[in-house]
């Protein structure tokens, strides 16, 4: 598809260029202010048949050729224009692929029976659209798919899926503390004047009357001014009037000292061509106006769809954003699900819900959980539109932003769940920068990561290169809950020598648990024992130990070990069972003359079997300090589960091709790859409900489930981060809080 850049001294001039070049049906991808005016990224509704997808073109002579990404730092060399064009094309292609992939996944996993069909039916009866119902049912986790009925656990999962798609501020105090100009827009009769009064009353109760002002632009309805003036008099705040064609900037200069200004706009049909002009007049020059769309809960779904589409297009055409909404007339709606469906699919944020005429009582901050409970309770067997028709409606709507909000929500959950995930994102932020800038920023990031106290233990990798690769696997830190930190630690940045390395980890990070590949050397072993720290060493079956006064390879003593109860686990992405047995032995030093000389340890023998077939997948041997007895069993499991990290990191390394992603330092690429590996492995192993939801969401991106779930999750994470880069570079990122 053809992407063009346009710049003008103001948004009206830039949009004039867009319409002249691409027509009225042009799709606005992004806009941003520049030093010389406004810059808009737009594309035609369809590209020429022989034009490669993702191609980026310069606009006609009237448009500037300034790049859309921020310029590099002053001491960095400017990148060639062709590099930027290639990067832009790649990012846009990723965005297109994301939409296609989600659509294919939804079609391929459309429910045909069982619990998925019950979920779909429940959503349709509530009034949600078929497209959303199919999308949710298609993401049913494998842990729930075999259930016969929609029980409490499945219903709780369904509510979580709806909650993850409905964004709300959550904190009214933070929302009302944000100063500025708010304009309520929407069709005639939606309740803008009453909502203006309700919102103003909330501001007055929090901040007093002095900093609040009301503005009306409705000069068409008889008595419109008088109705708002009555509210203003009751609230003891001033009211100002604007004509329909008067820009709001003409009035802002007269309202010095007013920190909270609310504009009640004239109601217009979404089909009225003057909607664009109305929104354009609301856009302030020095004081940006925050647009809030009012949606009538009692309206038909098709009407709501058209309202959102037209008003959002009008905002884009005016160079503004429309991301917030308020539900009105909830008390008049037979079902609440249709309006929630529209809000979810379009990625709007729901601020308030209005449910009556009383000011200010009949308006409340949006409570997503309560709204979803109410929506699911209000069910009826009324005829539903066909699934094909509903999906066609959804396909016409700009769901890319809604999908972007879902991906942003997934990233936010991962940030909150995994320590180090935010730092992993910052490593990805280096993508596309010159190598010198990458090095400078990476040094700054790693100098502070991780801080003391964030790591309970360390999973130490072998001190050699991974077979067939030019890099050694980085070390991975564990937090107090046994979760791996999302960003691993590069080996070459650590001190030489095993003993000094362990001591440095304790001093810098506060680690007290060490999972090692191979026995510690004499110096490290003495250091560990002197501090009575917990440690586990994975060794080969050929490791010679002493037992009963005789020396023998460890594997030869397996028959003498005491068997323990088996443990269910996952191994390299599949369900497995770990059988353990243990035996006290002695690890003699090389110079020992007698078998009983050396370090007393507990030897551990394990066999990992496929949970379904019983096939032996692996055998592992460990030794732990004898003083720990049988306490290290959880540590053995941690180390076993880290077994697949190298494979995952190698797969991610291969997918992060610098030929496609642009200039990429070796160490940056390794951190990106190994970080994705740790996150994928964690999500595969975790057994809580939040992890189950994350897996279902991510596996939808990976194109479905497969035998190696960890590999599927890894590919989904690669896709997630690439789409994140596309959204970030095109200015469609997460909106600010508040």
Query: pLDDT for 607-631, tens place per residue?
Result: 999 998 999 999 999 999 999 998 9
Decide: helix, strand or coil at residue 590: coil
| 3-state class (DSSP) for residue 719 | helix
- With contact defined as beta carbons under 8 Å apart, do 731 and 716 qualify? no
Which pLDDT belongs to residue 316? 79
> Nearest-CA neighbor of 98 among 734, 718, 736, 729?
718
396-400: long-range contacts (C-beta < 8 A, 24 or more apart)?
A: 397/305, 397/308, 397/309, 397/345, 397/346, 398/27, 398/309, 398/312, 398/346, 399/99, 399/345, 399/346, 399/347, 400/95, 400/98, 400/99, 400/732
Of 27-41, 170-184, 190-204, 351-365, give the lowest mean pLDDT range. 27-41
Query: Is 397 a residue whose pLDDT tops 70?
Result: no
Please check the confidence at residue 584 and state whether its pLDDT lies above 90. Answer: yes
Q: What is the largest CA-CA distance in the chain?
A: 107
Least confident of 72-76, 119-123, 527-531: 72-76
Q: How far is CA 724 from the centre of its chain?
A: 8
Question: Does pLDDT of 2 surpass 60?
Answer: no
pLDDT of residue 495: 93
Of 98-107, 349-358, 423-432, 590-599, the range with the lowest mean pLDDT is 98-107
Query: What is the predicted pLDDT for the residue at 703?
Result: 58
Domains and CATH numbers, the chain: 3-66 (no CATH), 169-366 (3.40.50.300)
User: What was the pLDDT predicted at 535?
Assistant: 96
Separation of alpha carbons 440 and 442, rounded Å: 6
Structure tokens at 518: 């191979």
Note the pLDDT of residue 603: 97
Report helix, strand or coil for 105: helix
Average pLDDT over residues 438-446: 94
SS3 263: strand
- pLDDT for res 402: 58
CB 472 within 8 A of CB 670: no
The pLDDT of residue 672 is above 70: yes
Compare 232 and 349 and report the one with higher pLDDT: 349
Strands 457-459 and 476-478 come out as antiparallel
* Segment 584-593 mean pLDDT: 74
Q: What is the pLDDT of residue 271?
A: 63
The rounded percent of the chain whose pLDDT value lies above 70 is 76
Gyration radius from the chain CA atoms: 30
pLDDT > 50? residue 457 = yes
460-472: average pLDDT: 94
Confidence grade of residue 30 (pLDDT, cut at 50, 70, 90): low
Is residue 258 within 8 A of residue 231, CB to CB? The reply is: no
Give pLDDT, residue 733.
Answer: 43
pLDDT band for 318, please (50, 70, 90 cuts): confident
Report the half-sphere exposure of 43 (CA within 13 A, side-chain side): 19
> Which SS3 state, helix, strand or coil, does residue 29 take?
strand
Q: Is the pLDDT of residue 225 over 90?
A: no
Judge whether 589 and 598 are in contact, CB under 8 Å: yes
Residue 47: pLDDT above 50? no
**Sequence-distant (≥ 6) Cβ neighbours of residue 87 within 8 angstroms:** 432, 662, 729
**Cα 224 to Cα 196: distance, rounded to the nearest angstrom:** 12
Task: Quote the CA–CA distance of 444 and 457 in Å, as a whole number.
Answer: 24
- For 26, the 3-state DSSP assignment is coil
User: Nearest CA to 264 among 300, 297, 232, 298?
Assistant: 232
- pLDDT greater at residue 655 or residue 88: 655
Give dist(CA 439, CA 430) in Å, integer: 9
pTM above 0.75, yes or no: no
Cα of 84 vs its chain's centroid, Å: 25
Q: Decide if pLDDT at 223 tops 70.
A: no
Higher pLDDT, 284 or 52: 284
Q: What is the pLDDT of residue 590?
A: 64
Burial 487-509 (b: 16+ CB within 10 A, else e): bbbbbeebeeebbebbeebbeeb
- Average pLDDT along the chain: 81
**398 pLDDT more than 50:** no
Q: Look at residue 400 and give its three-state secondary structure.
A: helix
Of 95-99, 105-109, 714-718, highest mean pLDDT: 714-718
Tell me the mean pLDDT in the region 709-727: 88
Has residue 381 got a pLDDT over 80?
A: no
Q: Is 37 left (phi over 0), alpha (psi -120 to 50) or beta?
A: left
The lowest-confidence range among 62-71, 441-450, 572-581, 590-599 is 62-71
């Amino acid at each position: 598809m053809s992407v063009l850049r346009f710049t003008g001294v103001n948004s009206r001039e830039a949009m004039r260029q867009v319409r002249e070049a691409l027509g009225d049906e042009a799709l606005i991808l992004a806009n941003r202010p520049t030093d010389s005016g406004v810059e808009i990224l737009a594309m035609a509704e369809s590209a020429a048949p022989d034009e490669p997808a993702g191609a980026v073109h310069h606009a006609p002579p009237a448009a500037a050729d300034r790049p859309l990404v921020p310029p590099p730092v002053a001491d960095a060399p400017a990148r060639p224009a062709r590099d930027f064009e290639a990067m832009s094309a790649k990012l846009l292609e990723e965005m297109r692929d994301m939409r296609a992939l989600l659509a294919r996944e939804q079609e391929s996993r459309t429910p045909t029976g069982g619990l998925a069909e019950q979920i779909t039916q429940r959503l349709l009866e509530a009034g949600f659209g078929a497209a959303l119902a199919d999308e949710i049912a298609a993401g049913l986790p494998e842990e729930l798919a075999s259930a016969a009925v929609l029980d409490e656990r499945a219903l709780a999962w369904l509510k979580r899926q709806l909650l993850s798609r409905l964004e709300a501020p959550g904190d009214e105090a933070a929302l009302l503390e944000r100063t500025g100009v708010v304009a309520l827009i929407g069709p005639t009769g939606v309740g803008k004047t009453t909502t203006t009064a309700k919102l103003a009353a909330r501001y007055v109760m929090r901040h007093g009357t002095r900093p609040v002002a009301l503005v009306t632009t409705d000069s068409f309805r008889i008595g419109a001014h008088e109705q708002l003036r009555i509210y203003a008099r009751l609230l003891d705040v001033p009211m100002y009037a604007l004509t329909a064609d008067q820009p709001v900037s003409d009035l802002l200069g007269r309202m010095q000292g007013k920190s909270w200004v609310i504009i009640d706009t004239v109601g217009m049909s979404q089909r009225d061509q003057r909607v664009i002009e109305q929104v354009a007049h609301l856009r302030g020059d020095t004081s940006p106006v925050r647009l809030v769309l009012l949606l009538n809960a009692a309206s038909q779904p098709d009407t709501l769809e058209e309202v959102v589409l037209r008003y959002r297009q009008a905002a884009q055409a005016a160079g503004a954003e429309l991301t917030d909404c308020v539900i009105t007339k909830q008390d008049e709606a037979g079902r609440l699900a249709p309006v929630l469906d529209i809000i979810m699919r379009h990625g709007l944020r729901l601020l308030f819900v209005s449910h009556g005429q009383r000011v200010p009582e009949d308006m409340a901050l949006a409570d997503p959980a309560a709204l979803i409970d109410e929506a699911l309770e209000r069910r009826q067997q009324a005829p539903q539109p066909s699934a094909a028709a509903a999906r066609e409606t959804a396909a016409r709507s700009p769901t890319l932003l809604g999908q972007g909000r879902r991906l942003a929500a997934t990233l936010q959950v991962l940030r909150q769940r995994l320590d180090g995930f935010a730092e992993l994102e910052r490593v990805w932020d280096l993508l596309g920068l010159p190598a010198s800038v990458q090095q400078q920023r990476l040094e700054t990031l790693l100098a502070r990561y991780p801080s003391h106290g964030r790591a309970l233990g360390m999973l130490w990798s072998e001190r050699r290169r991974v077979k067939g690769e030019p890099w050694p696997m980085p070390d991975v830190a564990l937090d107090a809950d046994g979760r791996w930190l999302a960003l691993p630690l590069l080996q070459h940045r650590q001190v030489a020598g095993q003993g000094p390395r362990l001591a440095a980890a304790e001093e810098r990070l506060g680690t007290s648990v060490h999972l090692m590949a191979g026995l510690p050397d004499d110096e490290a072993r003495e250091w560990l024992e002197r501090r009575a720290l917990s440690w586990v060493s994975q060794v080969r079956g050929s490791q010679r130990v002493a037992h009963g006064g005789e020396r023998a390879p460890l594997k030869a003593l397996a028959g003498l070990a005491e068997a323990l109860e088996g443990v269910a686990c996952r191994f390299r992405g599949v369900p497995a069972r770990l059988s353990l047995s243990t035996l006290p032995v002695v690890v003699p030093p090389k110079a020992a003359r007698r078998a009983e000389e050396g370090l007393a340890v507990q030897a551990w023998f394990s066999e990992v079997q496929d949970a379904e077939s019983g096939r032996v997948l692996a055998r592992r041997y460990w030794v732990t300090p004898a003083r720990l007895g049988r306490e290290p069993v959880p540590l053995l499991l941690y180390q076993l589960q880290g077994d697949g990290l190298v494979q995952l990191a190698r797969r991610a390394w291969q997918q992060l091709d610098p030929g496609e992603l642009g200039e990429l330092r070796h160490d940056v690429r390794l951190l990106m790859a190994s970080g994705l590996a740790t996150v994928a492995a964690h999500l595969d192993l975790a057994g809580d409900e939040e992890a189950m939801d994350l897996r279902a969401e991510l596996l939808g991106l990976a194109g479905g489930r497969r035998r190696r779930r960890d590999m599927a999750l890894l590919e989904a994470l690669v896709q997630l981060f690439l789409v994140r880069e596309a959204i970030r570079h095109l200015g469609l990122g997460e909106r600010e809080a508040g």
